Amino acid sequence: MAIHAADFRELRLDRLSRQFGAMNALNDVSLTVRRGEFIALLGPSGCGKSTTLNCLAGLLPATGGGIFLDDRRIDNLPPEQRGFGMVFQNYALFPHMSVRKNIGFGLTMRRVSKAEIARRVADAVALVRLQGQEDKLPGQLSGGQQQRVAIARAVVVEPPLVLMDEPLSNLDAKLRLEMRAEIRRIHTTMGGTTIYVTHDQEEALSLADRIVLLRDGSVRQVGTPDELYNRPAHLDVAEFMGFRNRVPGRVAQRDGDQVIVAVENATVVAQLREDLAPGAEAVLAVRPEDLVASDDGALVATVTSTEFRGRDHTGFARMADGTELVFHSEHSAPRGSIVRLRPAPERTLVFA
Ligand code: ATP
């Protein structure tokens, strides 16, 4: 494969900030990305993902902090001098140009020779598996094929960094899964560095080497998918990673990171994620799939509704103190019935 990402050791965001009027869209974001990494910027709508990517690309000036490629400061350079590849949600292809012309556009602008363009476009077409489609116009392609053209156009110039902003969000569910695998394959084949914006935790978990979780313009946690999924550092990270249940309680006993938490008239064994002493008020966080109906379940609640999920059911219930619970169950529980739910001790986390 002739496409190789250009060389650098690390990309560094140093206290990057961006204000819109009085509003802090990005707040002192610091991050070091190593060459070859696949980084997902993950977080809820409005958390600053696109703003980060646009500052990196040079499409939006930062209002504070700096961006460095090794020792070189690049946040004062215009986008074309940074030379990063960009892939957007809406593809942004030229409708009147063939696939071949679209992919070769960046090389033409760089005055690369015709023979070299032909060779590199052919390599890029092979990389994204679009052989035979080179003479079509974008309008004659499917959504997935158009997205492949956009990726080929971004990587053909052999950029040091490829930036992707929700590139799969316009595709249907099946195509999204296919393209997800393709994006990971292309990243690995090129040996490049990719920064990928998404609000979809599953996409981030499956694609990234490391996930950067943003909220309100600040970095809340940086870690491997395993770390974020199993060991979220804060309650808001846990919530975003699918810990939908929050149950208030009080730390009764502590043995290292293992704690017993008193909840209503019962106790629950769980794992401490923040430093809490016995007597402290706490919140239990647990995923619906780790809250199982059981005769010895500590959480007693009244079922309010259930939804069929195919393989099992999602149940909704309310405890006497008003706490709402979501749980999974093999059987549909009748509305109004009492359930006893047991949080799995190893996968129930305790936060302040
Ligand atoms: P989404 O997933 O919805 O695209 P995001 O995480 O990408 O969200 P950003 O687009 O980075 O979020 O926006 C971060 C914040 O900055 C938001 O509150 C947004 O309203 C604000 N913002 C973004 N662009 C502008 C702008 N040009 N002028 C004013 N405010 C802006």
Q: Go through 27-55 and write b for each residue having 16 or more CB atoms within 10 A of its CB, e for each that does not.
A: bebebebebebbbbbbbeeebbbbbbbbb
Q: Which of 16, 49, 52, 170 to mutate to test the pocket of ligand 1 (most atoms within 8 A of CB)?
A: 49
Q: Are strands 313-319 and 245-255 parallel, antiparallel or unpaired?
A: unpaired
Q: What would the pLDDT profile of 299-342 be if each residue is shown by its tens digit? A: 999 999 999 989 899 999 999 999 999 999 888 889 999 999 99
Which among 252, 232, 233, 251 has a CA at the least distance from the CA of 242?
A: 232
User: Ligand 1, atom 17: nearest CA belongs to which residue?
Assistant: 46
Between CA 80 and CA 218 the distance in angstroms is 28
Name the band, by pLDDT with cuts 50, 70 and 90, for residue 1: very low
Residue ranges of domains in the chain: 10-235, 244-351
Between CA 335 and CA 317 the distance in angstroms is 9
Q: Is the CB of 48 under 6 A from ligand 1?
A: yes
Q: Is the CB of 46 under 6 A from ligand 1?
A: yes
The three-state (H, E, C) secondary structure of 145-164, written as one string: HHHHHHHHHHHCCCCCCEEE
Distance 107 CA to ligand 1 centre (A): 32
Q: Is the CB of 49 under 6 A from ligand 1?
A: yes
Q: Which of 47, 56, 201, 219 to mutate to test the pocket of ligand 1 (most atoms within 8 A of CB)?
A: 47
Between CA 98 and CA 139 the distance in angstroms is 10
User: Ligand 1, atom 3: nearest CA belongs to which residue?
Assistant: 45
Global model pTM greater than 0.85: yes
pLDDT at residue 48 in the model: 96
The number of residues making up the chain comes to 352
pLDDT at residue 6 in the model: 63
Between CA 311 and CA 314 the distance in angstroms is 10
Average pLDDT over residues 248-256: 95
Domains 10-235 and 244-351 share a fold: no
Considering the domain delimited by 244-351, tell me its CATH architecture. Answer: Beta Barrel (2.40)
Give CA separation, 319 vs 21, 68, 210, 238, 327, in Å: 44, 52, 37, 21, 13
Q: Go through 128-148 and write b for each residue having 16 or more CB atoms within 10 A of its CB, e for each that does not.
A: bebeebbeeebeebeebbbbb
Amino acid (one-letter) located at 147 = Q
Distance of CA 248 to the CA centre of its chain: 28
- Give backbone dihedrals phi and psi of 197, rounded to 5 degrees, phi first: -90, 130
Q: Is the CB of 55 under 6 A from ligand 1?
A: no
Q: Is the CB of 25 under 6 A from ligand 1?
A: yes
Looking up tokens 């006893």 gives 340
Name the band, by pLDDT with cuts 50, 70 and 90, for residue 4: low
Atom of ligand 1 nearest to the CA of 21: 29
Q: Is the CB of 50 under 6 A from ligand 1?
A: yes
Distance 110 CA to ligand 1 centre (A): 32
Contact 75, 66 (CB under 8 A): yes
Average pLDDT over residues 46-60: 95
Atom of ligand 1 nearest to the CA of 26: 14
Average pLDDT over residues 48-58: 95
Q: Is the pLDDT of residue 158 over 70?
A: yes
Distance 49 CA to ligand 1 centre (A): 8
Atom of ligand 1 nearest to the CA of 54: 11
Class of domain 10-235: alpha beta
Q: Alpha helix (H) ranges present in 65-113?
A: 79-82, 99-109
Q: What is the mean pLDDT of the chain?
A: 92
Between CA 3 and CA 46 the distance in angstroms is 35
Q: What would the pLDDT profile of 71-117 be if each residue is shown by its tens digit? A: 899 999 998 888 899 998 877 899 999 999 999 998 998 889 999 99
